[in-house]
Amino acid sequence: MRLGICVLVLPVLCIAGTIIQDTIHTGFPPQAFGGRVTISGPAMTTSDGKMISRWTRDLQISDGQVQLELEPNDTAMPSGTSYYVVYRPKSGMAWSEYWVVPTSATPLKISGVRVTQPPVPQMGIQPSQILAGGASDGQALVWSDSLRRWSPSTLSAGVGSVFGRTGAVTAQAGDYDTDQVPEGGVNKYYLDSRARAAFSAQGPLAYDSGTGLFSCPTCAALPGGVASSMAYWTGDGSLGPSSVVSTDDANKQVTLSLRDGASVTFGSPAELLSPVPIDIRPPDSSAAPNYPQGFRVRFLNADGTFDEANNSYIDLAPWSQRASLTNFAITGMVKRLKSFTYSTYPSGTGTLTTHSCGASDGCPPNSSGDYLYTVLYYLTTTAASGGTAFLTVTWTDMKGARTFVSPALPLNASGYVQGQVVVQLKSGTINITPGWENASGSPSVSWGYLVQR
């Protein structure tokens, strides 16, 4: 093991190792370690070719100070060597540990070289140390299972050519095909006859397994014009008159016309008909395929599958009308019926003109209380001397006459009040009245509201 001493007169021979510099503390501060540290270095050959002999060195430690220089063994041969370090304190039991010293231009602490488990040393044998052992020219060491040892043997020279090509042979088209490689027991080769045999058909469809073609000899084509009629159910549960499906090939349209005058047209001259894939099944969990009193319309994926968690469906039956909608945007449910904005300089106490929303304004009442409206309001003001502003809403619902007064907006500072009230309108109109109390200093007040259904 190299000692960390450089002779000044021979600086070119002084090649620095790795410096270990640290302070060893004890668990009883401020007392530091005192005693002897024994370091046993391994036999190895350094990366620059120096042969290092096995060596042991004792260090006397006082005040815990450790500083020494060691040959790095991270790049030495054989690999897997380590330093064995024994600590012998002045009092108490000795202990030991292993170090692996890396190559480092800066000093390292003991924690930087300490390893929990020593590495496994590797054995290196120089080729010049291997004797002939009866081997002849061109032979190599080959394991013999019958002899249970390595023995000289002549290696196979391999093939001389592949498909008539010598040297570095690369694959080319035609080297192998399925006629030369037998198929496996599970994974079979593709054959037209096998693929066609995998299909079948039930009437009215017909299938030719020889050609792989499907046909429907009894099906009638749907040319442009009027197709056969079909029955539909009326609102009272009776079977109504038949409806007609007609097609317009030129405009790529399909029209469903009912005898009562209603009709639905799919497609347009500018765009090809691209219907949403659906299927119709019994409602809820009804199992009968021809259930007569209801149905479920399911919106399918493009491949015809239905995902219960992500796809939508609609149930229509006498006992249940419900829809499970996923990723659907429902529009047209909110309608702006009436809106006003006032702006004035109130003084004292008073009100502005009352505005109403009734049947002619899009707010029809309903004696059963089925119609709900939302009145949204927004009041703003600039700073003045004092007073308050508010908005009053009156209407009649199933419980009688109702009055709502918005929170008061102070007029002594710039600010705003906003909110909404839901109205159930049984009769009459919805009445909105702006008002103020004790206003002074000519504040600028704006009342705004919006009625929606």
CA distance 352 to 379: 14
φ and ψ of 12, to 5 deg: -70, -20
Angle made by CA atoms 313, 316, 226, in degrees to the nearest 5 = 90
Q: Quote the Cα angle for 392-393-398, to 5°.
A: 145
Query: What pLDDT does 61 receive?
Result: 93
Contact, 394 vs 358, CB < 8 A? no
The alpha carbon of 319 is separated from its chain's Cα centroid by a whole number of angstroms, namely: 40
Q: How far apart are CA 372 and CA 204, in angstroms?
A: 53
According to the model, what pLDDT value does residue 425 have? 92
CB contact set of 398 (below 8 Å; sequence gap of 6+): 369, 424, 426
Tell how strand 35-41 and strand 44-45 pair up.
unpaired
Considering only CA atoms, give the Rg of the chain.
Answer: 48
pLDDT of residue 429: 94
The answer regarding whether domain 11-115 maps to CATH 3.30.70.1290 reads no
N-terminal to C-terminal alpha carbon distance within the chain: 94
Q: Matching CATH topology for 11-115 and 336-452? A: no
CATH no. of 336-452: 2.60.120
Instruction: Report which residue type is found at 357.
Output: C
Kind and range of the H or E element at 193? Answer: helix 192-197
Q: What is the mean pLDDT of each run of 10 residues along the chain (453 residues)?
A: 39 64 90 94 89 93 93 90 95 93 94 92 73 79 85 76 79 76 82 89 88 82 46 47 62 64 62 62 62 71 79 71 57 55 82 89 86 89 84 93 92 88 92 90 85 84
Residue 271: per-residue pLDDT: 54
Which amino acid, one-letter code, is at 337?
L
Distance CA 142, CA 151 (A): 6
d(CA 279, CA 305): 10
User: Where do the structural domains in the chain lie, given as residue ranges?
Assistant: 11-115, 240-272, 276-330, 336-452
Q: Which residues pair with 340 in a beta bridge?
A: 449
Taking the CB of residue 238, how many other CB atoms lie within 10 A of it? 7
Could you list the beta-strand ranges (E) of 1-160.
18-23, 35-41, 44-45, 51-52, 55-61, 65-70, 83-89, 95-99, 114-115, 139-144, 149-154
Beta strands in 42-154 (DSSP E): 44-45, 51-52, 55-61, 65-70, 83-89, 95-99, 114-115, 139-144, 149-154
User: CA-CA distances (angstroms) from residue 160 to 19, 151, 163, 164, 169?
Assistant: 58, 26, 10, 9, 11
The structure tokens 């707010």 sit at 363
CA dist., res. 140 & res. 204, Å (int): 75
